[in-house]
Structure 1
Amino acid sequence: MGKLIDGVWRDVWYDTDKTGGEFQRSAQDFRDWITPDGTPSSNGGKGYPAEANRYHLYVSYACPWANRALFFRKLKGLEDLIDVSVVHPEMLSEGWEFRTDFPGATGDTVYGVPFLRDIYLRAEPKMTGRVTVPILWDLKTEAVVSNESADIIRMFNSAFDGITGNTDDYYPDAHRTRIYEINARVYDTVNNGVYKAGFATSQDAYDKAVLALFDSLDWLEGILAENRYLVGDTCTEADWRLFSTLVRFDLVYHTHFKCNRNYLRDYPNLWAYTRELYQWPGIADEVHFDHFVRHYHYSHDMVNPNRIIPINPVLDWMAPHGRG
């Protein structure tokens, strides 16, 4: 996970020395927005109009942040409107690469460049920042619309409804306050919490992160004991944001990131809930277990220096979930 500095690639990891061993995620730099008619969004970013075949999505199947963008592309029926390029699961000294020697890795289907950083540099030749997925790319102006997955799923949720006719709403007005509350805790302690545990370089930083993680998993188990979904009977973006972490938990985060007080499958409600979302029409097509097992264990040599790929448990994701 290197970065660009004034347009030049540097293979540098996150500096945890100045944070007492704590991993701190960088904020994303591209925060424009697609709206139905291209009017600017309320967040102050530039507006782009919703049009078929104008936008392209760059993703990694391994990355949970990119994965939730793929989930919303599927949920909202955008596959025929927005094409996808998938990077190779190994993220080594050159960062994300467009190699095709792994099943499902497509290469860059737009420009044929070798590295994901080449996409950023096409938009910002002197860019300084992390080279991350997902990227929502505007083919018309050759610009990065957004590299913030939380924004991308909101765009996908509603911007293209007039084109697709799909009006399913995963961010309904009636539940927005509760969605915000859940997202805030889940992001800090679960979505990012597994990384804060896995990338900690001090015992105190690890202990703080892992205890907060399992405190939140206990809290979520309690919510799902009383409700089918996180805000009640309605499936919302809060569920899909959580799912992208849970679906990786037992195969990656439990062992690789030392989040090993419990497996996900030790939580009856969370495990059944995760299987329900996995079995949602079309979602399993976007879950590539081989990509994320390969990515985490092979790419993070500071965590797994010998790059040993674990055998992992065989999980029955299609077992009846009983949450109907």
Structure 2
Amino acid sequence: MTVSPDDARHLTVATLDELWNSGSPMVLPIRGEPACRLRLDPKNRLITLVTPYESPEPDVANLKNIGFCGVSDGEDEFAELTVRIEDSVHGAYALFATVVDGLQIDKMPLAAAVAAGLARHRHVLASRGPMSTEKEVGLLGELLFLEFLIHQIGAGPATAAWQGPLSEEHDFTFDSVHVEVKTTSSDRRRHVIHGLDQLVPLNGVPLSVLSIQLTRTTPQSGRTLSQVVAHILKTARGHRVAVETRLTSVGWQADDADLYPTFWTLRSQPRAYSVTGDFPAITPDLISPVVPNFPLLSDVSYTVDLTDLHYDSLPDPMREYVESKMGQQA
């Protein structure tokens, strides 16, 4: 496809491919006013439009593969609009051609030209957004426990124990106990159980539910999900790749770190509840005898309120993480 054949201001597809496939960075001025130039960086798969800065700035905060910044060069200020190329370079180049035409031919303000280009070439860029608050809180609870374990038993054993992201039945597995982490931001320990098998002990290993309560707080007394992730990746050292793999599998994207501005802290000390005979768990063994055509059931979820249930301990080295059961009333 040849873009804007009327004045040859833009590259043909053949020329674009030749330049991009060369692998060499280059700057391509585009004739017209205001001055515009494209920086091609094939090695890092980036294309950047540089043009004089003007406000308001384009709104690209919710787009995954595009970024904007203002830069100063002496007394001059420039706007830099950058697209990261995930697939073909053609779509991104067509986007920039549309933006430049809006600036130079239609004399549109910068923000309007970018908005028009994005509207026309929306397929080039993926929208980004944070995971739901429920998922954010759930992941944060698992990471806080992982962080504790890294300091207690080391990054390797702690990471190996974190099995939930690998689609295993329970979040953390040890020889002495399996731990299912449940986290809430409410003032009661109300937790959603997903599926009839989530609270089924495996291979005779005891199972405990770790109940964590979080609350929103200030930067002085709490941390964001992104800050906790950064600290864990730092302390994981040689096991960082394994941690990153698990984070990706649960929906974490490093490029979206700025989308999690909420500061969280523990509302109370975590508690552990042994999944034994008096725990309010719905399992196949309990309900299959009384539910007609039980195998036809699927996607069963239910909520338990553990606030007033007697809690238990966890074995070492996890004992210090939970509230001692000695402190509860008989």
Greater length-normalized contact order (CA 8 Å, ≥ 6 residues apart): 1
Higher strand share: 2
Asked if TM exceeds 0.5, the reply is no
Larger radius of gyration: 2
Higher helix share: 1
Q: Scaled by the length of structure 2, what TM-score is found?
A: 0.21
Q: Scaled by the length of structure 1, what TM-score is found?
A: 0.21
